[in-house]
């Protein structure tokens, strides 16, 4: 019997299964037969093989919906159930925190017990945990801040301005992308500097930007998202003993969505799966880290077993450095790796799979594999071409209502799009139709300015070195501290080798006016007082816990009170400030939830959690809402019914990638990912015209639509189009007409002009629709229009009808209307284009 140190378990030592355990487990195998049967019951032979295989490396490659994630889950459960590993010896990497939570739940359901100590997380979360523990080794404070994309751009904007780099064409976004790319390739400032082309002024300037950026993050004790991975790799490479602790601990590493790992993530996996050499084992042993029972005959601890699952057809993150070669070269990097192929699809109907197969087979450079199911053809795919984005959205809303009436829960329906901008039309129509929906990862709560302000107060308290956070709150709410004062604080800090925060405390010596000086000192005092609230009691310090420290919600409330953040918003004359105040209060409510759900957790824990909330984490399956999300966010998920919207040239493939090498192939994989999310019903829609960047332009059907065999799609037509044409042309024809022989083909252009004409007719024929509102900038507000059951109303689009019922209150009142010819609709009274008759 061996004891190992479990870093998750503050009480220290846990038993690790040794040879004796395994023997005992073998003896007990008969008794446990029932259990292991349960773990493999319902799996097909290949899936079972993947669950039961034991060896150093296992690669499972398979198409969408073939049970890859399911196999991972069963494999973890089987390792634990067979006493081959403690939960704490398992590290499973998933793509989102939400997927991680789901996997944990499933493993626990399979085992029938909680599997504490198991690490199931994203690459980023796992790295944050490691870095917070080991920060000091690489000269970071363990309370380091995690900068998001917006923070990065703020810093880069300052640097670019200071260096006049915009004259060379640098923008915060371009510099950010380049830095990110380098970091994903594990290239840092020094390695870039070694290879820089000194005769190219652009390269030299970029080097300077990169250098400054790196220095500022260092000074602020901050890491960006890419750093989380690369710094962990550096940590492991520079400190083999630190690495050895994790190599020793994690005996089984499993990675889902392996096709989307980038080079840095791949390097991390390599580091974690290295064996611990006998001399390091001996040193660990000498330091009291128990290693007995883990070593082999040579005295080394063998590398962890690695299982990766992936589908190269679903690789959609090349722009973030994901490297399909990671899959292709797996066998080379892990010689003797077992490869299991899964073929049968358990998610979708054959019609959906046939469409997916047809589309993806147009990509070269892939192993041909065809998805198939034993479940039958199912319904045909529904296609729809709207005359505008709003018309398309109306189609989506109507179909969702029809599905709902047929018994499909809202939460089992999803609408996907390529770009976030596409949500506008969808949301407008959904709100108007009173359809419950949720935008996953759109303008996120935590990206709102007022939330970032409140968060900056917390960050400044947790990490006093964070200059970005301090500068953000320096004059928020307004305290009369202008940019000139901000600059004097910054240069005072620079000259005297102080942090910005220290310079604030020394504001007396800056020669500023008494009022401004007091304002700065008051803020510094407020932050210091809040920091004092975070110190645990002596008992907590002794025991290494957070006992005695104030709760996050109390610290936030204290800061809000002291800074008058909410009070200022409440008394402002800007009507939107009221909403902002409510948002900040929502944040307070969230910290309360956090405190309740995570007793003993610290402020840094809260900040970490917020930083790591990936888009897909906002999904809430329990809620009865339709999910709206980008195609990228949809990965790994499945829904009864899926709407793929905006299947147009310029959107899919996106214009940015259409001309890039490999771009159209990657966009095709994105389309494939979208199609394969659907279980039973798939809808493909597009619009003939779309407003983008404030301009309405004619849209062309996506080239990928053409790749789906005609007989799989049932094209419906757009009522708006039919009216304006005075005819009932099948939608398929209209859509198909857009396909010229190739890009810019004469036929295609001819079609465009005619469609544009028709489109103008439609537009002027329906001046009262939301379209006209958009164009003229009027926003409808029915204010306090009173309606009750029995009232007759007229709607601009649906004609006349009778109110059946009014539900909800205030601005959320909804009229349930039976229209004379348009059927039943639910309308949000405040904004619906209706009048009472």
Ligand X SMILES: Nc1ncnc2c1ncn2[C@@H]1O[C@H](COP(=O)(O)OP(=O)(O)OP(=O)(O)O)[C@@H](O)[C@H]1O
Annotated binding-site members for ATP: 62-69
Q: By C-beta, is 347 or 479 nearer to ligand X? A: 347
CB of 348 to ligand X, least distance (A): 9
Stretch that binds ligand X, among 1-9, 64-72, 85-93, 180-188 (CB under 6 A): 64-72
Q: For ligand X, which is the closer residue by CB, 315 or 433?
A: 315
Pairing of strands 823-828, 814-819: antiparallel
Residues 622-681 that bind ligand X (CB under 6 A): 636, 638, 676
DSSP letter string, 240-300: HHHHHHHHHH-SEEEESSGGG-BHHHHHHHHHHTSPBPHHHHHHHHHTT---TTT--TTSP
- Which parts of 430-489 interact with ligand X (CB under 6 A)? none
Query: Which of ligand X, Mg ion, none does residue 66 bind (CB under 5 to 8 Å by kind)?
Result: ligand X
DSSP-H helix ranges across 55-200: 68-81, 97-111, 123-134, 149-162, 172-184, 189-195
- Please check whether residue 673 is in contact with residue 635, taking contact to mean a CB–CB distance below 8 angstroms: yes
Residue 816 bridge partners (DSSP): 805, 826
The CB-nearest residue to ligand X is: 67
Considering only residues 239 through 278, tell me which ones interact with ligand X, judged by CB under 6 A: none
Q: Which residues bind Mg ion (CB under 5 A)?
A: 68-69, 636
Contacts of 472-480 with CB under 8 Å at 24 or more apart are 473/523, 473/563, 474/520, 474/523, 476/565, 477/563, 477/564, 477/565, 477/568, 477/569, 478/568, 479/519, 479/522, 479/523, 480/515, 480/516, 480/519
**Residues annotated as catalytic (active site), given as ranges:** 68-69, 256-257, 314, 677
Please, what is the minimum distance in Å from the beta carbon of residue 14 to Mg ion? Answer: 31
Q: Which of 104, 347, 418, 826 forms a contact with ligand X (CB under 6 A)? A: 347
**Cβ neighbours of residue 588 closer than 8 Å, sequence gap 6 or more:** 553, 556, 557, 560
Which range in 67-75, 82-90, 243-251, 681-689 contacts ligand X by CB under 6 A? 67-75
Give the shortest CB-49-to-ligand X separation in angstroms.
12
Residue 376 or 741: the one with the smaller Cβ distance to ligand X is: 376
Helix, strand, coil tally for the chain in percent (to 5):
50, 15, 30
Using CB under 6 A, which residues numbered 295 to 324 contact ligand X?
311, 314
Question: What token pair was written down for 582?
Answer: 């409510």
**Least gap, CB of 414 to ligand X (angstroms):** 13
315 binds, options Mg ion, ligand X, none, Cβ within 5 to 8 A by partner type:
none
Separation of alpha carbons 768 and 763, rounded Å: 10
The listed partner (Mg ion, ligand X, none) that binds 148, CB under 5 to 8 Å by sort, is none
Strands 338-342 and 639-644: unpaired
Interacting partner of 65 out of Mg ion, ligand X, none (Cβ under 5 to 8 A depending on kind): ligand X
Nearer residue to Mg ion within complex by CB, 17 or 636: 636
Render 310-377 in DSSP notation, one character per residue: E-GGG---GGGTB-THHHHTHHHHSTT-EEEEE-B-SSS-HHHHHHHHHHHTT-SSS-----B-SS--
Residue number, nearest CB to Mg ion: 69
> What residues numbered 674-733 form the site for ligand X, per CB under 6 A?
676
The nearest distance, CB 78 to ligand X, in angstroms, is: 15
Q: Which does 311 bind (CB under 5 to 8 A by kind): ligand X, Mg ion, none?
A: ligand X
Q: Closest separation between CB of residue 343 and Mg ion, Å?
A: 15
Interacting residues with ligand X between 529 and 558 (CB under 6 A): none
Closest separation in Å from C-beta 268 to ligand X: 21
C-beta of 135 vs 678, nearer to ligand X: 678
Size of the site for ligand X (CB under 6 A): 19
Q: What is the CA radius of gyration of the chain?
A: 29
Distance CA 172, CA 158 (A): 9
Q: Could you give the angle at the alpha carbon of 114 between the alpha carbons of 111 and 115, nearest 5°?
A: 80
State how far the Cα of 223 lies from the Cα of 132, in Å rounded to an integer: 11
Q: Is 346 in the site for ligand X (CB under 6 A)?
A: yes
Q: Which is nearer to ligand X, 301 or 306 (CB)?
A: 306
Report 26-45 residues binding ligand X (CB under 6 A): 42-44
CA gap 708, 703 in Å, rounded:
10
Q: Which class for 615: exposed (0-12), middle (13-18), buried (19 or more C-beta within 10 A)?
A: middle
Stretch that binds ligand X, among 63-71, 570-578, 642-650, 699-707 (CB under 6 A): 63-71
Considering beta carbons, is residue 68 or 813 the nearer one to Mg ion? 68
Residues that bind ligand X (CB under 6 A): 42-44, 47, 62, 64-70, 311, 314, 346-347, 636, 638, 676
């Amino acid at each position: 019997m061996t004891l190992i140190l479990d870093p998750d378990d503050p009480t220290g030592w846990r038993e690790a299964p040794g040879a004796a355990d395994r023997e005992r487990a073998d003896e007990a195998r008969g008794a446990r037969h029932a259990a292991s049967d349960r773990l493999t019951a319902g799996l097909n032979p290949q899936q079972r093989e993947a669950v039961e295989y034991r060896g150093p490396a296992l690669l499972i490659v398979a198409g969408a919906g073939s049970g890859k994630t399911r196999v991972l889950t069963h494999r973890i459960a089987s390792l634990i159930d067979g006493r081959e590993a403690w939960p704490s010896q398992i590290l499973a990497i998933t793509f989102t925190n939400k997927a991680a939570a789901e996997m944990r739940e499933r493993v626990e359901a399979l085992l029938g017990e909680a599997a504490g100590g198991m690490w199931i997380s994203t690459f980023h979360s796992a790295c944050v945990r490691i870095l917070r523990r080991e920060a000091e080794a690489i000269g970071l404070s363990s309370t380091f801040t995690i900068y998001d994309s917006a923070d990065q751009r703020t810093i880069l904007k300052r640097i670019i301005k200071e260096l006049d780099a915009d004259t060379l064409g640098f923008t915060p976004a371009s510099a950010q992308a380049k830095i990110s790319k380098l970091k994903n390739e594990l290239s840092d400032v020094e390695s870039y500097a070694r290879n820089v082309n000194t005769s190219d002024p652009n390269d030299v300037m970029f080097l300077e930007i990169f250098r400054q950026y790196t220095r500022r993050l260092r000074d602020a004790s901050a890491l960006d998202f890419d750093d989380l991975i690369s710094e962990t790799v550096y940590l492991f490479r520079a400190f083999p003993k630190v690495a050895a602790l994790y190599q020793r601990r994690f005996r089984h590493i499993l990675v889902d969505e392996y096709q989307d790992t980038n080079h840095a993530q791949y390097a991390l996996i390599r580091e974690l799966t290295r064996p611990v050499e006998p001399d390091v084992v001996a040193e660990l042993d000498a330091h009291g880290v128990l290693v007995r029972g883990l070593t082999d005959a040579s005295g080394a601890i063998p590398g962890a077993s690695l299982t990766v699952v992936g589908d190269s057809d679903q690789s959609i993150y090349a722009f973030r450095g994901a490297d399909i070669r990671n899959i292709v070269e797996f066998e080379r990097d892990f010689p003797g790796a077992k490869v299991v192929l899964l073929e049968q699809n358990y998610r979708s109907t054959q019609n959906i799979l046939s469409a997916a197969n047809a589309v993806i087979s147009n990509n070269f450079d892939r192993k041909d594999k065809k998805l198939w199911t034993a479940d039958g053809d199912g319904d045909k795919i529904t296609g729809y071409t709207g005359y505008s984005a709003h018309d398309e959205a109306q189609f989506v809303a109507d179909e969702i209502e029809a599905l709902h009436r047929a018994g499909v829960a809202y939460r089992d329906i999803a609408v996907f799009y390529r770009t976030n901008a596409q949500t506008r039309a969808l949301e407008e129509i959904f709100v108007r139709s009173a359809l419950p929906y949720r935008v996953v990862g759109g303008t996120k709560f935590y990206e709102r300015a007022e939330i970032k302000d409140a968060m900056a107060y917390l960050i400044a308290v947790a990490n006093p070195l964070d200059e970005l956070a301090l500068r953000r709150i320096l004059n928020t709410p307004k305290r009369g501290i202008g940019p000139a004062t901000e600059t004097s604080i910054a240069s005072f800090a620079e000259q005297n080798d102080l942090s910005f925060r220290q310079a604030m405390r020394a504001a007396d010596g800056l020669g500023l006016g008494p009022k401004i000086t007091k304002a700065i000192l008051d803020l510094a005092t407020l932050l210091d007082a809040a920091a004092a609230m975070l110190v645990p009691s002596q008992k907590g310090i002794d025991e290494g816990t957070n006992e005695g420290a104030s709760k996050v919600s109390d610290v936030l409330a204290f800061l809000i009170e002291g800074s008058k953040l909410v009070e200022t918003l409440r008394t402002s004359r800007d009507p939107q400030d009221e909403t902002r105040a409510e948002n900040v209060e929502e944040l307070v409510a969230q910290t309360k939830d956090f405190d309740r759900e995570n007793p003993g957790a610290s402020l840094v824990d809260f900040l970490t959690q917020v930083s790591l909330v990936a888009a897909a984490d906002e999904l809430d399956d329990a809620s009865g809402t339709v999910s709206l999300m980008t195609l990228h966010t949809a990965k790994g998920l499945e829904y009864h019914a899926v709407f793929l919207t905006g299947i147009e040239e310029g959107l899919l493939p996106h214009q940015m990638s259409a001309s890039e090498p490999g771009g159209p192939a990657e966009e095709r994989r994105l389309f494939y990912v979208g199609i394969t999310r659907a279980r039973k019903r798939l809808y493909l829609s597009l619009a003939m015209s779309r407003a983008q960047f404030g301009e309405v332009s004619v849209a062309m059907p996506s080239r990928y639509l053409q790749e789906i065999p005609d007989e799989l799609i049932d094209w419906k037509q757009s009522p708006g189009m039919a009216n304006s044409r005075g005819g009932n042309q099948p939608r398929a024809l209209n859509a198909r007409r857009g396909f010229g022989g190739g890009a810019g083909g004469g036929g295609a252009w001819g079609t465009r002009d005619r469609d544009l004409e028709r489109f103008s007719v439609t537009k002027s024929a329906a001046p009262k629709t939301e379209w006209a509102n958009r164009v003229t900038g009027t926003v409808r507000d029915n204010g306090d229009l009173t309606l009750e059951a029995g009232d007759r109303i007229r709607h601009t689009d649906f004609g006349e009808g009778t109110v059946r019922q009014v539900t909800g209150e205030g601005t959320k009142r909804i009229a349930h209307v039976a229209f004379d010819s348009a059927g039943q609709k639910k309308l949000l009274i405040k904004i619906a284009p209706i009048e009472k008759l």
